[in-house]
Amino acid sequence: KKQYRIAVIPGDGIGKEVMPEGLRVLEAAAKKHGVAVHFDHFDFSSWDYYEKHGQMMPDDWKEKIGKHDAIYFGAVGWPAKIPDHVSLWGSLIKFRREFDQYVNLRPVRLMPGVQSPLANRKPGDIDFWVVRENTEGEYSSVGGRMFPDTDREFVTQQTVMTRTGVDRILKFAFELAQSRPKKHLTSATKSNGISITMPYWDERVEAMAKKFPGVKWDKYHIDILTANFVLHPDWFDVVVGSNLFGDILSDLGPACTGTIGIAPSGNINPERNFPSVFEPVHGSAPDIAGQGIANPIGMIWSGAMMFEHLGEKEAGKSIVDAIERTLAERTLRTKDLGGNADTTACGKAVAEML
């Protein structure tokens, strides 16, 4: 039986606090379901590493982690100590680009025991996926500044959409929609205002839709789409968007389900040519780091997504079930959810629920 090798990168801030709980639960689930898994720990992709070495990662980072089956990632960034463009572009965004993790996948699900900020929404009412393009689009590196420090100064940055890049994310999203009971896909656009790239996106959506006749699809401009996340979150099943639109929707969606503290994400290379990265949606949270109060559910749920990606569906599903049962009990939830458990107590609770 195959032994999975996982690269573990806790990173910065609360990333270091929630990681042990993620590992605790993964180990318990592996044991229960007979999954053979080995964890290799790395200290790079963090401010601590940068302070010692003057760079976010060693030169041979690709050799160190490029052959693992997946990367389990905490959080990176500490704006007061290191600019985002150094820390994020030197690790997280580098992984996405260089490991061709072109899918960013995030569930939006209202869980039992979590209070939605939306009135009268119950678990079951909100349950969809955001599929985000993760390598190109608005996050390009093309552009620059002219006439600096004069009144004529201007800055440009290109949004870049390639046929390859757009078609492969749409294919992933349509396939996901097809695999779900509702078989419904929603595309985020803004072709009425962003008049060159967004009409191209729409054109490719229409072309791809022809290959998936079983999937019902619609599209909304991003402005009214964010409004509909709040007004009609029950409308959605699979929502696909560009790098920027997907980024927005996958923070707004979890906010509508109560908190981004529990939301997981996968940065996925579906072809498995490179390892995929699984990380909580939340960041390093310098404001609460060091207090032991961070919510470990985002980290744990990301671990469940990782097991599912590896093909260990049962183990993944049993973790999500354990999360649901833990969240349902006030004494086991962390403070951000109105509970009274600390990070470790919550992590232990999930592991015991398994």
Ligand X SMILES: CC(C)[C@H](C(=O)O)[C@@H](O)C(=O)O
Residues found near ligand X in the complex (CB under 6 A): 88, 192-193, 223, 247
Nearer to a second copy by Cβ, of 4 and 220: the residue is 220
Nearer to a second copy by Cβ, of 134 and 276: the residue is 134
Closest separation between CB of residue 260 and ligand X, Å?
10
Neighbours of 272 (CB within 10 A): 12
Which entry of a second copy, ligand X, none binds 254, CB below 5 to 8 A by partner kind?
a second copy
Residues forming the site for a second copy (CB under 8 A): 77, 84-85, 88-89, 93, 115-120, 138-139, 141-145, 150-164, 190-197, 199-200, 222-224, 226-228, 230-231, 243-244, 247-248, 250-252, 254-256, 260
Nearer to a second copy by Cβ, of 268 and 285: the residue is 285
- Nearest CA to 112 out of 99, 125, 103 is that of 125
Residues 10 and 16: beta-carbon distance below 8 Å: yes
Nearer to ligand X by Cβ, of 119 and 196: the residue is 196
Which entry of ligand X, a second copy, none binds 143, CB below 5 to 8 A by partner kind?
a second copy
Closest separation between CB of residue 196 and a second copy, Å?
4
DSSP label of 23: H
123-126 own/partner pairs: CB under 8 Å, 24+ apart: 125/233, 125/234, 126/233, 126/234, 126/256, 126/257
Alpha helices in 182-275 (DSSP H): 197-210, 222-231, 243-256
Closest separation between CB of residue 56 and a second copy, Å?
14
- Nearest CA to 278 out of 50, 14, 95 is that of 95
- CA-CA distance, 198 to 258, in Å (whole number)? 31
Which entry of ligand X, a second copy, none binds 231, CB below 5 to 8 A by partner kind?
a second copy
Closest separation between CB of residue 331 and ligand X, Å?
31
114 φ, ψ to 5°?
A: -105, 130
Nearer to ligand X by Cβ, of 193 and 338: the residue is 193
- CA-CA distance, 36 to 2, in Å (whole number)? 7
Nearer to ligand X by Cβ, of 77 and 296: the residue is 77
Which entry of a second copy, ligand X, none binds 53, CB below 5 to 8 A by partner kind?
none
Closest separation between CB of residue 88 and ligand X, Å?
5
176 φ, ψ to 5°?
A: -60, -45
Neighbours of 223 (CB within 10 A): 11
Nearer to a second copy by Cβ, of 3 and 80: the residue is 80
Which entry of a second copy, ligand X, none binds 304, CB below 5 to 8 A by partner kind?
none
